[in-house]
Structures are given as C-alpha cells and as structure tokens.
C-alpha cells in the first residue's frame, strides 16, 4: 500500500495500483495531489472552503460516473459530487475522499417543437439559458448564471421566472442518474415515480444525476427588467409597497428586495457608490408593453435614487447580479422563510441590514406566489410553497476572521425567526447539521424522503450533502 501521497479519510484504503486502474477506467482526467491542476481543481465557489480530496475525477459521461461510484464504494472513500460548486457549505468537495466533478458533461439538446430540453448535469445556468434562448425558450432557474443546474434543480430552483412558470423542479420531466449500487436509471412520472418525487427537492441524496429533461417556456428574448434603488430612509415604505404590490400582481411579475451597498461599478450612478440602499429587482416575463403598464405603479413609487429598469435580453437578466457573487470571496449564509411581513418584520429587516459588517454583504427578500405557490405541497419534495417570501442573509467578505460576519448573519436570521419560524429552503443551508435539514421539510415530506433513501441509498454512500439519513442498512 502506498497511501502516504494522498490525504485519505479514516477507514478508507486504496493503493497506487487501484488508483491507476481507476485512471484507466475514466475517459476524463483523474487529478491527485502533486498534479499541477490539483490546487485549482479542489477549489469551489466559496473561498472559505479549503479541503484536500484524495482524488478528483472529471466525468465525461455515465461510464465515468459508474466507475467513480464503484471506486468510492469499494475503497470506503467519502464521495463528494460537484456540479457548479456553489454549495455554500462546500458539500461538493471533501477531505481525503473522491470528488466526482461533472463539469465536462455539458451536452444540451433543445427540441423547440416539443418544448423540451435534455441537459447534462455539468452545465451552468448561463450555458443552459444560452442554448434554450436560441429558440426563445427557457427553463425557470436561478438568478446567478455561474450556478450549476444540478445542485440547484435537485433542491428546488427559485428565480426570475418562478411566479410565472414555477420552480425549476416544477419543470423537470425526467432525471437520468446512477444509483449507489451503480445502476443507471431514468426517473419520471411513469418510471420510478417515488424516486422522481424525491429528486425534486431532496437534493443529491439518491444518486449521481447525469442529465435532466426539462419543460421549456417561451421567454423573451427581451423582457422588461432591472433594479430600482431607494435610499435607506425610504426602505420601510418600499418594503410595505413591495409586499402589497406583489400580493395582487399578475404571475408575470417576479420581485426581490435586496439590501446592499452600491459597489463602485460604472453600471451604478457615481453619487451612490458606497451608499447602503434598498434595491427592488423586478422583471415582467411577458410582452414589454404589458410590463410597462403593470410595473408603472412600482416604478412611480416614492423617490428612487435610480431607476435602472428597461428592456433587456433574458440572458442579461440572468447574469445581472453575477458580479455581486464572484468565485473565491468568503461567504457565510443564513436563510429562512417569512410568513408574517408586518411593520415589525419590516422594521427588523431594516434594523439588522444596517448592521452589515462588510460592504459586500447582502440581505435578500425573495417574494413567492404565482405559479410556484399553486403547485400542491406534496407534489414534489420541495416544501414551503405557501410562504409569501424567503430571506437569504449573505455575509460576503474578502477573507480574515469570519466571526463578526457570521455573527451578523446569525443574529439577523434569529431576529427574523418570530416572523417565519423554522422553515428553510434546503439549497440555502450551509453546514448546519441534521436538525436544520429536517426543518427544510414538513414532517411527512421528510419521512417520505427517508423511505426513498432507504430504498435507493441504504448505506448512505451519498452523504456529503444536506443529508437525509437512512434508517436501514447502516
């Protein structure tokens, strides 16, 4: 055995010969410590995450995924699965284990007549949008184009089209995956339907997804969208107005409120640089003229410091806030749901936002409703469809001591708890432990996820995720 060259997790065992055999089995690259690409290959989006896997296997297709799963199982190695690498807690990289990195798998086929896309699991949101917008179509997905489709879809998928066409999970028609025992399956309403249900909100617990089939919707290519910036003095009135406006707005309107410090970027008016503001991010996913009419009251409200709403390509909207979340900065996130958004909740949001410890940090209120809320609560494993809004407190800083930033996010979330309770969207969780994963699901949903886990991954091979622990087979 020649284990010394590799950081190997306790209990795992393999030798150079086994690794060489895996390397031969893979069509993609196998990167180990000592390889010139190792330092870059072990990094994920959150620069705070600093882990040393024993090996990183770049998968080019199903056969590579099957080989990687078999290797991890046979040698008792922790197995991390990486799509876009945006798990805030860094679940897609591990110490001393094997990382299956699906980023080479970027195939996408669009069938405009059936309005269906088949997308491989290594695609990023922007890459999928680019392919579908070629036909004026889109999959409802998230708001930052460098996020991976796989992790986002498996947890739920909220974004600029969710009130119009539902969450990403509401638009999944089928999932292709390799299970813990190396079997390739296709799950849909008619094939392994219980697995299909679990995959739409239950995260990476049930296998390694190799491709998704999505329903497409006509979107754009031009939409009315953008941000309106308000001075903090108007924040209370603007939040109240946003709440009342969205309550009766048509499904085409999608809205977020974001507390942020205006960065010194040429896209923002120079006199606002460095000032904390409340941004209203909005789009109208329909005809521009209808959008002008429907959004007029919102744009006429108060005395904005800047109105940057106008016609823009859908792909531009999808990358509009990319620059606010670059790779490599340090991030600490706390999130939850809001059920009561009264004056006290609004005052709390403003008071806590003002305490931000870094000018890069943001606090986001994403308004629900519309198509996403009309899907029955038990139709998919994604829960919390009945809430008016979710919040994300994203502490962002260049490095150094995370404690004050983490404390800001934690205290902010704690202050909001009386207005929302325990619920949380699973994809916004960091490394917060099993009790918090339970809170991401109603009890009946969680029990059903455990039953699916017992069936498809009874030994918990897929445990580096927001883990649904099996109750058999351990």
Nearest distance in Å: CB 82, ligand FAD: 4
Q: What sign has the CA pseudo-torsion 113, 115, 118, 124?
A: positive
Q: Which pairing describes strands 55-58 and 30-31: parallel, antiparallel, or unpaired?
A: antiparallel
Nearest distance in Å: CB 470, ligand FAD: 15
Toward ligand FAD, which CB reaches closer, 157 or 304?
A: 157
**CA angle 337-446-461, nearest 5°?**
115
Integer angstrom CA distances of residue 443 from 225, 381, 434: 38, 11, 14
Toward ligand FAD, which CB reaches closer, 133 or 304?
A: 133
Toward ligand FAD, which CB reaches closer, 267 or 290?
A: 267
Nearest distance in Å: CB 111, ligand FAD: 22
Nearest distance in Å: CB 3, ligand FAD: 25
CA–CA distance, 43 with 190 (Å, rounded to integer): 39
Toward ligand FAD, which CB reaches closer, 94 or 309?
A: 94
CA–CA distance, 62 with 449 (Å, rounded to integer): 25
**CA angle 81-90-163, nearest 5°?**
85
Nearest distance in Å: CB 291, ligand FAD: 21
CA–CA distance, 422 with 336 (Å, rounded to integer): 7
Nearest distance in Å: CB 105, ligand FAD: 8
Instruction: Identify the residue whose tokens are 């991401």.
Output: 440
Count the helices and strands in the chain (H runs, E runs): 15, 19
Helix axes 403-416, 343-353, angle to 10 degrees: 180
CA–CA distance, 134 with 146 (Å, rounded to integer): 19
Nearest distance in Å: CB 331, ligand FAD: 7
Q: Which residues sit opposite 186 in a β-bridge?
A: 176
Toward ligand FAD, which CB reaches closer, 65 or 235?
A: 65
CA–CA distance, 472 with 456 (Å, rounded to integer): 11
Integer angstrom CA distances of residue 183 from 66, 82, 167, 393: 8, 19, 28, 39
Toward ligand FAD, which CB reaches closer, 304 or 463?
A: 463
Nearest residue to the partner ligand FAD, using Cβ:
151
Toward ligand FAD, which CB reaches closer, 205 or 445?
A: 205
Nearest distance in Å: CB 126, ligand FAD: 12
Q: Which residues sit opposite 392 in a β-bridge?
A: 335, 364
Toward ligand FAD, which CB reaches closer, 148 or 226?
A: 148
User: Could you list the residues that contact ligand FAD (CB under 6 A)?
Assistant: 45, 81-88, 91-92, 102, 121, 142-144, 147-148, 150-152, 154-159, 203-204, 208-209, 325, 427, 464-465
């Amino acid at each position: 055995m020649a284990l010394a060259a590799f950081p190997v997790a306790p209990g795992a065992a393999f030798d150079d010969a086994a690794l060489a055999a895996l390397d031969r089995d893979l069509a993609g690259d196998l990167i180990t410590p000592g390889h010139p690409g190792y330092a870059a290959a072990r990094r994920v989006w959150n620069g705070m995450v600093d882990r040393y896997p024993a090996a990183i296997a770049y998968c080019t297709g199903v056969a590579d995924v099957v080989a990687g799963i078999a290797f991890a199982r046979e040698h008792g190695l922790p197995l991390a699965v990486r799509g876009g690498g945006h798990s805030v807690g860094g679940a897609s990289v591990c110490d001393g284990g094997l990382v299956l990195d699906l980023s080479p798998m970027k195939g996408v086929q669009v069938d405009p007549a059936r309005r269906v896309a088949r997308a491989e699991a290594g695609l990023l949101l922007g890459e999928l949008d680019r392919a579908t917008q070629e036909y004026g179509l889109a999959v409802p997905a998230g708001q930052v184009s460098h996020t991976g489709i796989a992790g986002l879809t498996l947890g739920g998928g909220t974004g600029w089209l969710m009130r119009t066409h539902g969450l990403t999970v509401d638009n999944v028609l089928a999932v292709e995956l390799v299970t813990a025992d190396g079997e390739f399956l296709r799950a849909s309403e008619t094939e392994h339907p219980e697995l299909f249900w679990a995959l739409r909100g239950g995260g990476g617990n049930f296998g390694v997804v190799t491709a998704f089939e999505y329903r497409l919707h006509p979107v754009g290519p031009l939409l009315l969208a953008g941000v309106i910036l308000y001075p903090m003095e108007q924040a209370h009135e603007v939040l109240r107005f946003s709440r009342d406006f969205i309550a009766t707005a048509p499904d085409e309107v999608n809205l977020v409120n974001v507390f942020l410090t205006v960065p010194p970027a040429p896209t923002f008016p120079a006199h606002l640089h460095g000032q904390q503001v409340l941004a209203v991010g909005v789009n109208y996913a329909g005809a521009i003229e209808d959008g002008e009419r429907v959004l007029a009251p919102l744009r006429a409200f108060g005395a904005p410091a800047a109105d940057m709403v106008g016609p823009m390509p859908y792909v531009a909207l999808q990358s509009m806030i990319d620059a606010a979340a670059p790779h490599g900065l340090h991030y600490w996130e706390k999130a939850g749901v809001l059920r009561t958004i009264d004056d006290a909740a609004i005052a709390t949001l403003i008071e806590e936002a003002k305490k931000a410890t870094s000018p890069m940090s943001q606090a986001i209120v994403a308004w629900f409703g519309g198509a996403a809320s009309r899907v029955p609560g038990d139709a998919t494993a994604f829960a919390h469809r009945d809430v008016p809004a979710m919040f994300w407190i994203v502490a962002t800083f260049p490095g150094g001591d995370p404690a004050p930033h983490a404390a800001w996010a934690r205290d902010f979330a704690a202050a909001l708890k009386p207005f929302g309770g325990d619920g949380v969207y699973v994809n916004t969780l960091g490394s917060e432990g099993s009790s918090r994963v339970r809170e991401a699901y109603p009890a009946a949903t969680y029990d059903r996820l455990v039953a699916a886990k017992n069936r498809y991954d009874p030994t918990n091979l897929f445990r580096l995720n927001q883990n649904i622990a099996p109750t058999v087979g351990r």
